[in-house]
Amino acid sequence: MNNLAYKHETFRDDYTYRNSPDAIRRFPFPFAEDHYMYSVNIEQHQPGAKGSIVEHAFDIDEHYVSECEDKLITLGQDKGRYAALPHMMDAQWDFLELSMESLSRDYPHLFTLTKDGERWTWRNGPLGIEDSFVFGDAATLPLEPFEYMGRQVQGDFVLLDQREGTLFADAGFITSQADWSLAFDVGMSWHEWHGPVPQVEKMGIMDRALKFLMSLQQGNPVRRLNWTMTINPRLDTSPEHFPEWGPDKLKVTAQNAGEKAHLRVELQTMFRLPRSNAILFSIRCYLISLEELATYPRWAKRFHRVLRDLHPDLLEYKGIKVYHEAVLAWLSQHDDGAELALGAHPE
């Protein structure tokens, strides 16, 4: 996307967030088949098709400015959305370097980075930020390096320290989480923070995914898609703010589901970081209303079938159960039962 017309929109209160036809077309619809169950759906994070969400290391889209503004609102209400344990300072600089180098390389008309030895100057056009600092000296930045760049890249970020045969979530910048808490999870090991996920233990998926991530190598980042649903286009669906968004689940009807119910897809990318040997886990959230989704009929049909046949444990875990009937009723109008070819493409 070369000429982004940034939209002024909200992810709370009046919820003016909408997707343009372009944004709908590039939406990362995650279902290639009519049935869904967890799998280790990891692939290499190599540059994808031009204009797609995986064209670049980090995707910047038409929601960039509004999403960064929403991050600041959430952070202002709750400082605990950013946390970094003291031993993660090298990983913080790794994150700053990776994000600045990627954005300035992939979107040179929006972001520039100039280096004069350790003296770096960063310019962020869309947000109107310009700072010079000494790489490695946190006192020369207005914020800690991880928080500084976490505010300027869409998505959430976790830095994982690798030790004792597992991974520890020892730093995070989390303002658009699908109902999990950084304050609760920070410092936890892999198996501790995945404890609540149903149906995976017996499949051994978490063990396999952990082994795979522990051998993740620099220069070979990987990605996967995950999904859930959210009522209203809200990024901050945190347990801390449940009273602000939880009750909306009860207001979904077969009539308003098309507008209220959103498919929430996370593009999760994982990078091995150089100085710290930590892993960056980035979670980039894409929201689309059922109405927007249904502009491509095969997506509406397929999503109807996936939701209809989803395992009850997953309906419960993803918090869909309470409005499941209403959403199915809305989607069923768009499903004529025709057989769909494999693949998640829109047309």
Partner 1 sequence: MSALNVIVSNIELVADGIRHFTFIAADGGELPGFSGGSHVVVSMPAGNRTYRNAYSLLSSPADRSNYQIAVRLQEQSRGGSRFMHEQVKVGTRLDISWPVNLFPISRVGHQHILVAGGIGITPFMSQVHDLLRTGAGFELHYAFRSPRHAGFIDQLKQLLGNKLVCHDQSQGQILDLHALLSRQPLGTHVYVCGPDGMVDALIATAHELGWPDAHIHNEEFLAPPVGEPFTIRLRQSQKNVDVGAEVSMLEAMEAAGVDVPYLCRGGACGRCELEVLATDGVIEHHDHYLSDAEKGAGKKIMPCVSRAKCSFIELNL
Residue of 37, 40, 72, 329 interacting with partner 1 (CB under 8 A)? 40
Residue 64: left (phi > 0), alpha (psi -120 to 50), or beta?
alpha
Q: What is each CA distance from 73 to 9, 86, 144, in whole angstroms?
A: 13, 25, 18
Query: Is 119 known to be catalytic?
Result: no
Q: Is 39 in the site for partner 1 (CB under 8 A)?
A: yes
Q: Specify the stretch interacting with partner 1 by CB under 8 A; choose among 40-48, 58-66, 247-255, 307-315.
A: 40-48
Q: Which two tokens stand for residue 47?
A: 């540059």
Q: Which is nearer to partner 1, 69 or 90 (CB)?
A: 90
Provide, rounded to whole angstroms, the least separation between the CB of residue 58 and partner 1: 18
Q: Which two tokens stand for residue 50?
A: 């031009």
Q: Is 14 in the site for partner 1 (CB under 8 A)?
A: no
Residue of 105, 211, 251, 345 interacting with partner 1 (CB under 8 A)? 211
Provide, rounded to whole angstroms, the least separation between the CB of residue 218 and partner 1: 5
How many Å is the maximal CA-CA distance in the chain? 62
* Residues whose CB is less than 8 angstroms from the CB of residue 73 and which lie 6 or more positions away in sequence, other chains included: 12
CA distance 97 to 118: 12
Q: Which is nearer to partner 1, 14 or 164 (CB)?
A: 164
Q: Which is nearer to partner 1, 120 or 323 (CB)?
A: 120
Provide, rounded to whole angstroms, the least separation between the CB of residue 160 and partner 1: 12
Q: Is 276 in the site for partner 1 (CB under 8 A)?
A: yes
Q: Which is nearer to partner 1, 212 or 242 (CB)?
A: 212
Q: Is 105 in the site for partner 1 (CB under 8 A)?
A: no
CA distance 67 to 97: 22
Residue of 14, 116, 164, 339 interacting with partner 1 (CB under 8 A)? 164
User: Which residue, 305, 336, 335, is CA-closest to 32?
Assistant: 305
User: Which residue, 199, 216, 238, is CA-closest to 162?
Assistant: 216
Q: Give the torsion through C-alpha atoms of 73, 74, 75, 78, to 10 deg.
A: 120
Provide, rounded to whole angstroms, the least separation between the CB of residue 26 and partner 1: 21
Q: Is 61 in the site for partner 1 (CB under 8 A)?
A: no
Q: Collapse the DSSP code of 156 into the 3-class scheme (helix H, G, I; strand E, B; otherwise coil) and give the result.
A: strand
Q: Which is nearer to partner 1, 119 or 251 (CB)?
A: 119
Contact of 60 with 103, CB cutoff 8 Å = yes
Beta bridge partners of 114: 121
Q: Specify the stretch interacting with partner 1 by CB under 8 A; choose among 216-224, 263-271, 316-324, 338-346.
A: 216-224
Q: Is 220 in the site for partner 1 (CB under 8 A)?
A: yes
Provide, rounded to whole angstroms, the least separation between the CB of residue 84 and partner 1: 12
Q: Which of residues 170-209 bind partner 1 (CB under 8 A)?
A: 204, 207-209
Q: Which is nearer to partner 1, 98 or 290 (CB)?
A: 98
Catalytic residue among 224, 298, 305, 308: 224
Contact of 221 with 269, CB cutoff 8 Å = yes
Q: Is 87 in the site for partner 1 (CB under 8 A)?
A: yes
SS3 of 9-47: the string is: CCCCCCCCCCCCHHHHHCCCCCCCCCCCCCCCCCEECCC
Catalytic residues: 224
Q: Under the rule (CB under 8 A), what is the footprint of partner 1?
A: 39-44, 87-88, 90, 94, 97, 161-165, 204, 207-209, 211-212, 215, 217-220, 222, 274-277
